[in-house]
Chains A and B, each alone.
Chain A
Amino acid sequence: MKILTCPLNGPRNISEFVYGGQVKRMPDTATASDREWAAYVFYEETNIGVVLEWWLHSPSSYWFIAERHNATDEIIRTFPADELFTQRVDFSSPEAPL
């Protein structure tokens, strides 16, 4: 079994983890156009190389980030999400018209 190292639980079988998509920068929800939002939702890095991904350790419900090569399947590094997300994301949106 392939091993993935969880920053919280240490090395575990990869079957304990769930893939959660690439880490992407979310556009401002208040100002993003439909096209920008579609690009954020549907498009990922598709070239061969090292990608940043969300992974979930399912038994402990712990989300973290992994650097993985998308062709060799080599996992280069795993780290807690707060290395990248240093402050709370504010989901402000304009008042809905009544």
Chain B
Amino acid sequence: MPLGLLKYGFKRDYPFEAEADIPAPSDLKPHYDVVIIGGGGHGVATAYYLAKYHGITNVAVLDKGYLGGGNTARNTAVIRSNYLTPEGVKFYSASVKLYENLSNEFDFNIMYSQRGQLTLAHTDATVRAFRQRAEVNKHFGGRTELISPDDIAKLVPMLNLNPANLPVLAGLWHKDGATARHDAVAWGYARGATQRGAQLHQLTEVTGIITEGSRVTGVKTNRGSIGAGAVIQAVAGHSALLAEKAGFRLPLVAYPLQAMVTLPVKPFLTPLVSSSALHCYVQQTSRGEIVIGGGSDPYPLYNSRATLPLKESLISSAVEMFPFLSEMRLLRQWAGITDMTSDYSPIMGLSPLDNYYLDAGWGTWGFKATPICGKTMAELVASGGKVPELIQPFELDRFNRFEQVNEMGATAASH
């Protein structure tokens, strides 16, 4: 053993502490200007942009588990903006633009890989819908086009163009489609936020919201109560449960979403491929594993257990698309709880409480929105409640006015 290492063994302090990406845990302060509940990508991104653009650094990000341990780590890391509604396309395009430069901005590699996303159409109706999506995308500056089966065969030579006797008629080819290392996104934001003075408190569960009239004055946690000038909730699948603690209800239904990966193999698949009819998407990670995912479970549940029927249906679809996958072994599976809205758009902005802000309803579309979500939520909080134009369509009150943003371009929307 090198003597240098032995020397550190006898030292009281960890010698590399100053270089650690995330500072060591500290005590909670009695008061913060902003308390962010949820240390996932959205929460730490909000803390990052609050510090970077608005100079607000007396910020605590609280997480009941660990950094990025919830849905940030459970999604399948797809980044795209080929949605259907103008509101959605504008919002997610802004997110893609931020993602493209994130590694440089952080000086921390998020392994952003813009390899394109291909969605297969198997019916005339889907082809028509895709044509509309391509036009809406182009209008708002995205790179999306409709391509023929011949082009698809060149792009993905291993793909079966007649999966489950549903011939591929066309494809929606989204060149901006990408993937990134989801943990790295959370760590990059957390590092940037904590370097600027924000605090990350892991293993700190919020057990109650302290209110005075219609204002929030603080939060109760398992480590004691703290005061707060403003509170943001960004807790994905547990959004509705936390809102109940704050005294109001959200129009959300929590469904499990299951996904899995195979053992790694040599690279054979560059784009992310999904089928609109088989409710399945397949992609190869930079490690070589094949990620298989699809829609949410058929009924609501606050539980990330695995079910065989969902695995069977996903795998049979994936094998139809890429028949040789039948020879492969699964490496692992997991599930997350998705907070689904009835219109497949998020709930962002003001809540029934004055200084309590919502970042919820992220269902199956949260990871790709991480940067723009953090940026707009930071703007909202820093301005004391002036809702940025980009997220105005997603306010909670839209349900009371029957003005939903019907986002049929969402992954689970075909279910």
A residues neighboring B (CB under 8 Å): 1-2, 14-15, 18-19, 34-35, 38, 42-44, 46-48, 53, 70-73
Contact in complex: A34, B308 (CB < 8 Å): no
Interface SS of B by simple majority: loop
The 11 listed contacts between A and B (C-beta, < 8 Å) are A1-B308, A34-B400, A34-B401, A38-B400, A43-B249, A46-B241, A46-B250, A48-B302, A70-B300, A73-B301, A73-B303
Answer whether A46 and B307 are a contact pair too, CB < 8 Å, given A70-B300, A73-B301: no
Contacts of A47 in B (CB 8 A): 241, 244
Contact in complex: B244, A72 (CB < 8 Å): no
A14, A35, A38, A44: the one contacting B253 at CB < 8 Å is: A44
Contact in complex: B305, A46 (CB < 8 Å): no
Supply 17 further A-B pairs (C-beta < 8 A) apart from A46-B241, A71-B302: A1-B308, A2-B307, A15-B309, A34-B402, A46-B240, A46-B243, A46-B244, A46-B249, A46-B250, A46-B252, A46-B253, A47-B241, A48-B241, A48-B302, A71-B303, A73-B301, A73-B303
Contact in complex: B251, A42 (CB < 8 Å): yes
- Near A by CB (< 8 A), chain B positions 342-356 give 342
Q: Does B10 contact A (CB under 8 A)?
A: no
**A71 vs B307: C-alpha distance when bound (angstroms):** 14
**A46 vs B303: C-alpha distance when bound (angstroms):** 14
Interface centre among A42, A70, A72 (most CB of B within 10 A): A42
Contacts of B342 in A (CB 8 A): 42
**A25 vs B402: C-alpha distance when bound (angstroms):** 20
Contacts of B301 in A (CB 8 A): 70-71, 73
Contacts of A35 in B (CB 8 A): 400
Contacts of A42 in B (CB 8 A): 251, 342, 399
- Closest-by-CB residue of A relative to B343 is A42
Q: Does B298 contact A (CB under 8 A)?
A: yes
**A73 vs B301: C-alpha distance when bound (angstroms):** 7
**A35 vs B402: C-alpha distance when bound (angstroms):** 9
Q: Does B254 contact A (CB under 8 A)?
A: yes
**A2 vs B310: C-alpha distance when bound (angstroms):** 12
Contacts of B244 in A (CB 8 A): 46-47
- Near A by CB (< 8 A), chain B positions 301-351 give 301-303, 305, 307-309, 342
**A71 vs B342: C-alpha distance when bound (angstroms):** 21
Contacts of A14 in B (CB 8 A): 309
**A34 vs B402: C-alpha distance when bound (angstroms):** 9
- Closest-by-CB residue of B relative to A13 is B309
CB B309 to nearest CB in A, in angstroms, measures 6
Q: Does B16 contact A (CB under 8 A)?
A: no
B251, B300, B305: the one contacting A43 at CB < 8 Å is: B251
1/0 per residue B225-255: CB within 8 Å of A?
0000000000000001101100001111110
Contact in complex: A38, B399 (CB < 8 Å): yes
Q: Does B14 contact A (CB under 8 A)?
A: no
